[in-house]
Amino acid sequence: MRKLNFFTQLIDLKANTTGIKIYLVLFIFMFMCLIISSCANPLEPVSSEEEAEIKAELKNRSFRQFDPSKDADKRKGVILDFFNGIELWAQYAEGETALNEWSILAVDYHIVKSGSEYRIYFEAPRSEQILPSQCDNCIETSGISISIRDLFDDEKIRFKLNIDDGNFPRPFPIFESWTKFNEDEYFD
C-alpha cells in the first residue's frame, strides 16, 4: 500500500510539473503578444492641417536613388517626384540601354501616420509602362504606397516603398527597406 501511495504521489508530481510547464509556456506566449502589439503603431489619418503641412514640405521636390549606383552597368532606379501631385518612376537599365521602365502618377495623394512614419497613398492613380512595350494603366497600382521617415529633417529623411502583397512590378523589388534618396539629382 505504501508503494502504491509513493507511485501515486510521483504521478501527481509529474502531472503538476507538466501543468506548470504548460502554464509557463502560455504565459510567455501571451507576454510576447502583448509586447509585439504594444510596439505596433496602427496607421491613422493625419489631420487636414498636418496633411497640408506635409504636402507643402514635399511640393516641387524630387528624390532619386539607384541600386547599386547610377553608374553601375546593371542598375535599378527610382524617382519620387512631387511636382504635379505625385509620381513614382522606376527603371531597370544595363549600360546605356533601359530595359524596363514604368511610372505611377496621381494628381493627389492622402497621408496616414504611424509613429514617426508617414505613409502616402496615391488617389485615383494611373500607370504608364514605357518599356519593354508602351501601354497605359497596365501596371498594377493597388496596394502601392510610399513611407517617409524624418520628413522634416533633410539630413535624415528616408523612404521605403511598400506593396501589400510584396509583388512589385518589374524592376522591383527595390528599396523595400529604409533608404536615403538623393534630392534634386534629377536636375544635375
Mean pLDDT of 25-31: 64
pLDDT in tens, 40-77: 557 788 899 999 999 999 999 998 888 888 888 998 88
Contacts of 5 (CB under 8 A, 6+ apart): none
Calculate the alpha carbon distances from 117 to 133, 147, 160, 182 in Å: 36, 6, 10, 19
34 and 64 in a single domain? The answer is no
If you search the block for the grid coordinates 504521489, which residue do you land on? 9
78 and 8 in a single domain? The answer is no
pLDDT in tens, 105-148: 999 999 999 888 999 999 999 999 898 889 898 888 888 899 99
Q: What is the pLDDT of residue 152?
A: 87
Q: What is the pLDDT of residue 171?
A: 58
34 and 99 in a single domain? The answer is no
pLDDT confidence bin for 178, thresholds 50/70/90: confident
Structural domain boundaries enclosing 31: 1-40
Q: What is the pLDDT of residue 151?
A: 87
CA atoms within 13 A on the CB side of 163: 17
101 and 153 in a single domain? The answer is yes
Is the pTM higher than 0.85? The answer reads no
64 and 135 in a single domain? The answer is yes
Query: CA 117 to CA 128: how far, in whole Å?
Result: 28
33 and 100 in a single domain? The answer is no
18 and 63 in a single domain? The answer is no
65 near 179, Cβ under 8 Å?
yes
Query: CA 160 to CA 58: how far, in whole Å?
Result: 15
Residue 38 pLDDT greater than 50, yes or no? no
pLDDT confidence bin for 188, thresholds 50/70/90: very low
Highest mean pLDDT: which of 31-40, 62-71, 171-180? 62-71
137 and 154 in a single domain? The answer is yes
- Amino acid letter for position 118: Y
15 and 104 in a single domain? The answer is no
Strands 44-45 and 108-114: antiparallel
Q: Domain count for the chain, please give it.
A: 2
Q: What is the pLDDT of residue 113?
A: 93
80 and 170 in a single domain? The answer is yes
Q: Where is pLDDT greater, at 170 or 38?
A: 170
Query: CA 109 to CA 125: how far, in whole Å?
Result: 9
77 and 121 in a single domain? The answer is yes
Helices and strands per DSSP (H, E), number in the chain: 2, 12
24 and 59 in a single domain? The answer is no
Q: What is the pLDDT of residue 58?
A: 92
